[in-house]
Amino acid sequence: MGTLERKLASALLACALPLLAACNSTGLSSFGNSTAELELPSSVEEYPDNEVFKVAKVQFAAGNYGHAARYYERTVEVQPNNGEAWLGLAASYDRVRRFDLADRAYREAGRLIGDRAEYYNNIGYSYLLRGDVVKARSNFLKAHELDPASATINNNLDLLRDNVARSKQR
């Protein structure tokens, strides 16, 4: 490498370093969520038992997955046979990348509502997040068999197909 090339490389590196630092300091995870959204808080605001399930759903819809998980945990404590709450808890754990905890919640949800399309769709999405496209596809197809008209399930099958196609192009 000649002197001119070294100077050019040094100048480019000097310009690139602040940009790279900015990319890393945006506070966003690989999911595009802020790191705060992906943390499980040590505590959350208290709500009456009859309201906590509703609060969990609102937190999840707002993208506050750590808070949603804590409220879903409280919901399944007071309503242990609420399959929808177990499914919400599992999905919340997926979003904060606590797949070990998600697996337990999916087992409980499966025991209660394992015959529903949304169960198979959610567990399929969990496997997609983990990078296990074979298990994701299997579960998405089970969901599709149960509810072939579901836009969510069909979108997830398309997402999986696009994901696999992109990985083959690399």
pLDDT digits (tens, 9 = 90+) for 18-60: 433 333 333 444 444 555 556 788 888 899 999 999 999 999 9
CATH match for 115-170 among 2.60.40, 1.25.40, 3.80.10, 1.10.3470:
1.25.40
Question: 73 with 41: CB under 8 angstroms?
Answer: no
- pTM (predicted TM-score): 0.76
- pLDDT score for 58: 98
- Dump pLDDT digits (tens) for 91-106: 999 999 999 999 999 9
- Dump pLDDT digits (tens) for 104-122: 999 999 999 999 999 999 9
pLDDT of 90 higher than 80: yes
Do 115-170 and 30-114 fall under one CATH topology?
yes
Q: Domain segments of the chain: what residues?
A: 30-114, 115-170
User: Across residues 111-138, what is the average pLDDT?
Assistant: 97
Collapsed DSSP state (helix, strand, coil) of residue 34? strand
Cα 141–143–76 angle (5° rounding)?
140
CATH placement of domain 30-114: 1.25.40.10
Structure-token match 């070990």, residue found: 100
Comparing 2-11, 56-65, 110-119, 138-147, the range with the smallest average pLDDT is 2-11
- C-alpha 57/C-alpha 63 separation (Å) is 10
